[in-house]
Amino acid sequence: MPDITHDISVEPLNERIKQLERLLELSRNLSATLEPEPLLQTIIEVAADITYSQEASILLYNEVHDKLEFVAAPWFKRDTMKEILVPLDKSIAGQVFTHIEPIFVADAQSDPRHYRIVDKISGFKTQTLLTVPMVFQGKSTGVLTAVNKLGDRHYTENDVRVLETLASQAAIAIENAKLLKRSQEAYDELAEIDRMKSDFIAITSHELRTPLGLILGHATFLQETAPEELSKQIEVIVRSSMRLKGIIEDLSKIDNFQTGQSSVRKEEVNLNQLATDVKASFKEMVEEKNINLSLNMPNTLLTMEGDMDKITIALNHLVKNALTYVDEEGKVVVSLERVSDHIKISVKDDGIGIPEKDLERIFERFYQVEAHMTRRHGGMGLGLSVAKLMVVMHGGRITVESTEGKGSTFSMFFPTVEEQVSKTKPFI
């Protein structure tokens, strides 16, 4: 504890009680006040009040200038004080900040450590002052200063303890405010990115549809009329156009969902037949890679109330994803089963698997597991996002289990009770 001049008179008990009451009141208000400026002003007002000082101020460390700057001062000279930068090596505040120890000065005008430029610019005369460090997680972040004890009295050890308590609360509150601000900025940035994604989806799906239709129409016509020696080149055009058509359709599905134009048209869906049809649609891809695509279905008919087209889209994307990421002669199994009050449709593969760090983001729009410059597979990272969208629209959920290098299992759970569907709010 620094050398503090003791007041020979005993402070009345009611003064101590008042100080504790104000500290308690401030503690309650700090958690509710997250805007930095009013927060700091409240702190210096309380600091001056509970130490019976003429005024108080807060200086925080400015890393750019390597000096202390006034961030809170009495309202009538706030703007003037904020223009002042206080050096660390030629001021009492700088010494307190550097050594993390409080300092009391009984006669500031005769003390060589006093930074007189502050008095000169502000038109104020400092007589006595008490400065304590503001510390957060063991690191000095600034100082809290009370000046000119009223009634020509000196600051006491009790003033030091009270001001240190207040400085500690202030340091935590200021850091919390900074953290909240950074979190809000990050949230706003993510919201802007999401808006840009949505705009991109809407514009792209709309603007590409017409020219692609023309390309595909002419290519199909040429495929029927062109000489045989050009058939392979035209086939490449048609195949590439169909691939682009699939991407645009995925974009359109997401855009329709976001704009509220998509809805679930409920009917009785024969899941056994649906899974069989999906398997048949990948015959060419399965034969090309010599993949074993099999169905694991119950002997009895499995049905549910839902939108057959949307369930087909979801299963198509999961099967295509599995076939894409398994090696030649790999295995993919589509399973159907009833689990309690849900229908479970799973797609299991023995492919490359998904790194654990990517599992939480695998269903995000445009998210790619592989590095952009080294990707061996096509696509825009929309398939799994669309699959999730289709499942969520039914009030269901989609999960993934995966071990890198061993394979993945994607599972869709559809509620079988109609009330569950109607009460579920779509979210993606």
Secondary structure (3-state) at 87 = coil
Both structure tokens of 148: 């000119």
Cβ neighbour number for residue 417 with a 10 Å cutoff:
12
| Backbone dihedral region for residue 56 (phi beyond 0: left; psi -120 to 50: alpha; all else: beta) | beta
Question: Of 198-207, 217-226, 379-388, 398-407, which has the strongest mean pLDDT?
Answer: 398-407
**What does the alpha-carbon distance between residue 283 and residue 100 come to, in Å, rounded to a whole number?**
74
* Report field, pTM of the whole predicted structure over 0.85: no
Taking residues 260-277, report their average pLDDT: 82
Q: Which pLDDT score, from 0 to 100, does residue 422 have?
A: 40
Q: Which pLDDT score, from 0 to 100, does residue 296 have?
A: 93
Averaged pLDDT of the chain: 81
Spell out the domains of the chain, with CATH numbers in brackets.
13-183 (3.30.450.40), 189-258 (1.10.287), 267-423 (3.30.565.10)
Question: pLDDT-based confidence at 84, cuts 50/70/90?
Answer: very high
pLDDT in tens, 351-385: 989 888 888 888 887 666 654 333 455 555 677 88
pLDDT in tens, 304-355: 998 888 898 889 889 989 998 898 889 999 999 998 889 999 999 999 898 8
Look-up of token digits 């969902």: 257
Percent of the chain surpassing pLDDT 70: 77
Segment among 14-18, 42-46, 197-201, 309-313 with least mean pLDDT = 14-18
Q: pLDDT at residue 388 above 70? A: yes
Q: Which pLDDT score, from 0 to 100, does residue 383 have?
A: 79
Look-up of token digits 């080149």: 233
Segment among 19-28, 75-84, 155-164 with least mean pLDDT = 19-28
| Whole-number Cα distances in Å, 104 to 92, 101, 108, 146, 360 | 9, 10, 9, 10, 55
Cβ neighbour number for residue 391 with a 10 Å cutoff:
27
Q: Which pLDDT score, from 0 to 100, does residue 308 have?
A: 87
266's enclosing H/E stretch is: none
Identify the residue with better confidence: 14 or 142.
Answer: 142
Q: Where are the alpha helices (DSSP H) in 293-401?
A: 308-324, 383-393
Taking residues 17-35, report their average pLDDT: 63
Question: pLDDT-based confidence at 130, cuts 50/70/90?
Answer: very high
Decide if 104 contacts 3 (C-beta within 8 A). Answer: yes
Secondary structure (3-state) at 58 = strand
The set of residues, in sequence order, having a beta carbon less than 8 Å from that of 252 and lying 6+ positions away, is: 205, 209
C-alpha triplet 426, 188, 250: angle, nearest 5°: 40
Question: pLDDT-based confidence at 13, cuts 50/70/90?
Answer: low
**What does the alpha-carbon distance between residue 37 and residue 199 come to, in Å, rounded to a whole number?**
37
pLDDT in tens, 205-264: 666 767 777 777 877 878 777 787 777 787 778 777 776 776 666 666 665 555 555 567
For the sheet with 407-415, list strands across it: 292-296, 331-339, 342-349, 407-415, 397-403
